[in-house]
Amino acid sequence: MFEQIPLHLLLAMTCVAEVGFHKSTEECQLMWEINERNAEARNRSLKKQTLLFNSYWKSKEQRSRRPWIRYLEGEEEPKHWPKTIRWGVHKRMWIRYVRAARVFLANKHRRKEICPGALDYGAPQEYPRQASTMKRVWCVDNTLQWYWALREPHERINAGKGILSKKALSDETIISESILTRKRRQSRGTSD
């Protein structure tokens, strides 16, 4: 059904589905990098991996809530775009995502990895699903996604029913969260 979408547009659409229009292209590139790494590990094409991995393409419910994402193509307002939102405001970011996707695909062997070792991403509420075998890694600032790398066997946590207390998190994660919180406070000009 979606296989006919050109890969650069599919990647840009996936970024919109995951983080919306107001994030940097760096976060998009990181998600594409993770999909590419997983595609290579599974001997799949990047297109197939993207379609299998991202919730927007897997879930009819997700697509029904934002059907216009599927119709993002050029600079024109996409079919099913919400009538209460001006397309012109979002068009510039869409064009940036498309350009970034083309550059990403064209520079496969020349680009530097943004987050070596990251294998998954998802929203914070997905953490219990990941916690026993994965650890959060910090790849980009001001992100909507959480990024995950495999824990070393000695770091693995028995998550029981998938619910972890803060005590069960590794010191590295807690320290990283504290550093990020401090950076956010500094950028807002608050000390607490």
pTM exceeding 0.85:
no
Eight-class DSSP state of 83: T
Q: Measure the CA–CA gap between 50 and 130, rounded to whole angstroms.
A: 19
Q: Compute the 3-state secondary structure of the chain and give helix, strand, coil in percent, each to the nearest 5.
A: 55, 5, 40
State the pLDDT confidence band at 101, using cuts at 50, 70 and 90.
very high
**pLDDT value at 168 more than 60:** no
Residue with tokens 């509420």: 125
Q: Which of 142, 122, 134 lies closest to 170, judged by CA? A: 134
The pLDDT tens digits of the residues spanning 39-75 come to 998 999 999 999 988 878 887 887 888 999 999 998 9
Residue with tokens 């809530």: 65
The pLDDT tens digits of the residues spanning 102-142 come to 999 999 888 888 888 888 887 655 555 556 677 788 887 77
3-state secondary structure (DSSP) of residue 137: strand
